[in-house]
């Protein structure tokens, strides 16, 4: 079994390095779990920050998927995409980050439909995760959100299980599935819930 796990900014450079220097032959799993972060708040929505986040959090995912797809098609493999709740439910003071994550959801949702109608047996697992207890993540949202970070190892285990079982979607913590359903059914309660999790004064500073 051949698994390629891409995390951190190294994945961004790998996207360009892959062209002539890497043979993906026999690849069974491609796990995309790299992000470019930006501090939460109104200052994060500049054109420069948005361009950077779209390059790291969306365009590089597309590049790596395009290069791996022929090998995954041959092996009937799996593509595991680690995304965020902010790619399903928009919230305040995360404009460029949320935009990049919504783009991921649209791209891979459409790709799944394309593969299905072409009878291509490649599974796509979209993982919708919340804030994890990483130092970098905690620093980026310090003073802005009251959300309690979820344990990183448990989130990783949920991703592994989802990829191994070829699940279409993974939600961790599990309550995020309900929140995504509420997005269309009950928009007012959803907006109230999100507002309770924010320190608006700090975020707007």
Residue-by-residue DSSP string for 92-146: TT-HHHHHHHHHHHHHHHHHHHHHHHTT---EEEEEEE--BS-HHHHHHTTTTB-
**Residue percentage of the chain with pLDDT more than 70:** 64
Tell me how far CA of residue 94 lies from CA of 18, 30, 156, 198, in angstroms: 31, 27, 23, 11
- For the cut 80, the answer to whether the pLDDT of residue 77 exceeds it is yes
pLDDT at residue 161 greater than cutoff 50: yes
Closest CA to 104 of 88, 122, 120: 88
Read off the pLDDT of residues 30-45 as tens digits, 9 standing for 90 and up: 999 877 666 555 555 6
Q: Taking the CB of residue 177, how many other CB atoms lie within 10 A of it?
A: 15
Per-residue model confidence (pLDDT) at position 119:
96
Cα–Cα dist 69/79, whole Å: 9
132 vs 55, higher pLDDT: 55
3-state secondary structure at position 31:
strand
Most confident region among 51-65, 85-99, 135-149, 176-190 by mean pLDDT? 51-65
Over residues 163-168, the mean pLDDT reads 96
Is the pLDDT confidence value at 103 over 90? yes
With cut-offs at 50, 70 and 90, classify the pLDDT of residue 202: very low
pLDDT value at position 203?
46
**Catalytic (active-site) positions:** 97
Give, in order, the Cα–Cα distances in Å from 168 to each of 31, 72, 79, 89. Answer: 14, 16, 10, 18
The values of phi and psi at residue 169, to 5°, are: -145, 150
Do residues 26 and 75 make contact, with C-beta atoms less than 8 angstroms apart?
yes
Q: Which helix (H) or strand (E) holds 82?
A: strand 78-84
């Amino acid at each position: 079994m051949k698994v390629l796990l891409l995390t951190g900014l190294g994945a961004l450079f790998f996207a360009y390095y892959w062209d002539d220097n890497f043979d993906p032959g026999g690849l069974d799993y491609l796990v995309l779990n790299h992000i470019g972060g930006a501090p939460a708040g109104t200052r994060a929505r500049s054109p420069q920050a948005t361009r950077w986040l779209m390059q790291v959090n969306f365009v590089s995912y597309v590049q790596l998927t395009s290069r791996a797809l022929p090998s995954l098609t041959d092996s009937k493999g799996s593509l595991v995409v680690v995304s965020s709740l902010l790619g399903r439910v928009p919230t305040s003071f995360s404009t460029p980050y949320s935009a990049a994550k919504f783009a991921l959801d649209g791209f891979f949702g459409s790709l799944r439909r394309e593969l299905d109608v072409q009878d291509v047996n490649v599974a796509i697992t979209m993982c919708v995760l919340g804030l994890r207890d990483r130092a970098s993540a905690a620093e980026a949202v310090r003073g802005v959100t009251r959300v309690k970070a979820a344990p990183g190892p448990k989130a990783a285990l949920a991703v592994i299980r989802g990829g191994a079982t070829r699940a279409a979607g993974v939600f961790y913590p599990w309550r995020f599935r309900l929140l995504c359903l509420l997005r269309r059914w009950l928009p007012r309660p959803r907006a109230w819930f999100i507002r309770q999790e924010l320190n608006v004064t700090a975020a707007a500073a």
